[in-house]
Structure 1
């Protein structure tokens, strides 16, 4: 991109907006939001429910929310539609128009960058850092969470999107004091859970080739490659940000919930009220009644979902994972 285009883009931002960005930066540095991530079907919903039930955190008993905001931040710049629905739930539906008015300079900047041919997707691009910086995604996401924070009563933020494991570095660049809870689970249980869910979706009327359930229908080999990539990502993050994350294995969380929830709450720096509260004291979950129960082991009969060959592949692969997945 030539220098004249970049200079024109800077002129889009008024002094008032520069002040707004400075305020967002100060606010982001003062916050300790919790981001829950990890492979799909690894217990992220269960952990999200436990954290959001805590009185210091924003309450999401009314809905499950996976914003994908760090995966597809450009959707915050677009008109309201199905692709940014859950982002709007998090933000508050009635607040979306006023939010976009506040970030109008970013909308204009991104419109011009798109006209110049810059990609929207940064994650898989060789120009990842350039796209992230030039499109000002960090400021956009800070504005999104700041306005959500106001909508949610200025309580501590918690957000759950499994795929955010792919952009943990960007999360920490936007929120330097964020805490990451990374869920893991035995690979055989994850794969069997995917297969079981896929069958259920087909039984409910979806066609096997429906793109909305494609994420549930991969080969065992592809799943294992994916788990290895996540495992490597966890190790790399731990090497750089050991005080910013913990791994929360599903098996440990469900077999010894009080002990492991205490570890979680100690790590994020709140009293252990969520692990010890009685059922009567906890907020009822409207969106998934099963989550109203105490954490408990969800046993999966592998023989119903996995072939002998699948199980042999998984057994051979499991020892190669460096982090705890049990």
Structure 2
């Protein structure tokens, strides 16, 4: 008799139990690495009426810099953050802060308060940004995450009194800078195509800001990176006037302030921005250097005829 048979005979006599061979487990399915979850649909939300802002929003009249990647938004936010009344932190990426219901009961409870998932997300966005403003001890918050341009309508719905600053740059210069930032990751053509998504989103936001929302266009101001680097004082004086604050000469020497430190991965952190002063921009591309992919955007922004 086999060892298993002898063991089972002894176990049966003493305990009534037997040892049996386990059924082989089904092979585990390999997990897909790098698979991205499906895009979540935009949640339902309501736009607060002017009379509801006092209870629905802590943050009033926030400022959003709308710009493509590699357009000088970190430089602009450093200049603004050097102002005694303006707080412009690193990129906050608030649109990626999401809320979900842990149960149907919690969803019913919030719905009874007239709060859907989108409304709760807006309350979270508002609270995070208001907390950052209060911690700074300043009066006005300026947010500069480039991807905000993709949700400009929702931002405007969340804060009907929001103000927008559109920062433009020559599209070819944007593509070159995006490519040079990580040439092993993307070719120039790939960089141009990727950056063009941001440019189109910014242009859509710029057009929407000029149109009515609840009967009124959004407060907005447009400036160019090339003008900012050529005459920073003039451009900052104009921008301060739009924001309703006095120009402060110390803004141009932003490196003297300790609270304007850059954070790697949350905006530009390279040597040029770390100098603490505005540096000259690169020469504008010649007309024959504009690829066909970027020509329509160059024309829309006045960089090509």
> How would you bin the TM-score normalised by the shorter chain?
0.5 to 0.7
Please state whether the residue corresponding to 1:149 is helix, strand or coil: helix
Give the drift of 1:33. 1.9
* Structure 1 equivalent of residue 265 of structure 2: none
Larger radius of gyration: 2
CA 1:150–1:110: 2 relative to 1, 3 Å: farther
* Structure 2 equivalent of residue 296 of structure 1: 279
Report the Cα distance in structure 1 between the residues aligned to 2:254 and 2:198, rounded to whole angstroms.
Answer: 40
Report the Cα distance in structure 2 between the residues aligned to 1:150 and 1:216, rounded to whole angstroms.
Answer: 42
Report the Cα distance in structure 2 between the residues aligned to 1:156 and 1:26, rounded to whole angstroms.
Answer: 14
* Structure 2 equivalent of residue 169 of structure 1: 153
Please state whether the residue corresponding to 1:182 is helix, strand or coil: strand
Tell me the TM-score normalized by structure 1: 0.59
For 1:1-326, what aligned pairs fall within 5 Å after superposition? Answer: 25=56, 27-28=58-59, 31-58=60-87, 60=89, 65-70=90-95, 72-74=96-98, 110-112=101-103, 134=118, 136-153=120-137, 155-199=139-183, 202=184, 208=185, 218=190, 220-221=192-193, 223-224=195-196, 226-240=198-212, 242-273=217-248, 275=249, 279=253, 282-284=256-258, 285-287=260-262, 288=269, 290-291=272-273, 292-299=275-282, 311-313=290-292, 316-318=295-297, 320-321=299-300, 323-324=301-302
Please state whether the residue corresponding to 1:27 is helix, strand or coil: coil
Give the drift of 1:36. 1.5
Count of matched residue pairs: 233
Please state whether the residue corresponding to 2:181 is helix, strand or coil: helix
Give the drift of 1:67. 1.4
CA 1:41–1:24: 2 relative to 1, 3 Å: farther
The structure with the largest helix share of the pair is 1
CA RMSD of aligned residues (A): 3.7
Report the Cα distance in structure 1 between the residues aligned to 2:284 and 2:53, rounded to whole angstroms.
Answer: 53
Report the Cα distance in structure 1 between the residues aligned to 2:187 and 2:81, rounded to whole angstroms.
Answer: 26
Tell me the TM-score normalized by structure 2: 0.63
Q: Which has the higher contact order (CA 8 A, sep 6+)?
A: 1
Please state whether the residue corresponding to 2:278 is helix, strand or coil: coil
Report the Cα distance in structure 1 between the residues aligned to 2:158 and 2:103, rounded to whole angstroms.
Answer: 23
Please state whether the residue corresponding to 1:271 is helix, strand or coil: coil
Report the Cα distance in structure 2 between the residues aligned to 1:253 and 1:261, rounded to whole angstroms.
Answer: 8
In terms of mean alpha carbon deviation, does 283-292 or 143-152 score higher?
A: 283-292
Segments of structure 2 that go 5 or more residues without pairing to the other structure are 1-51, 108-114, 263-268
Please state whether the residue corresponding to 2:140 is helix, strand or coil: coil
Give the drift of 1:185. 0.4
CA contact (8 A) 2:80 2:251 kept: no
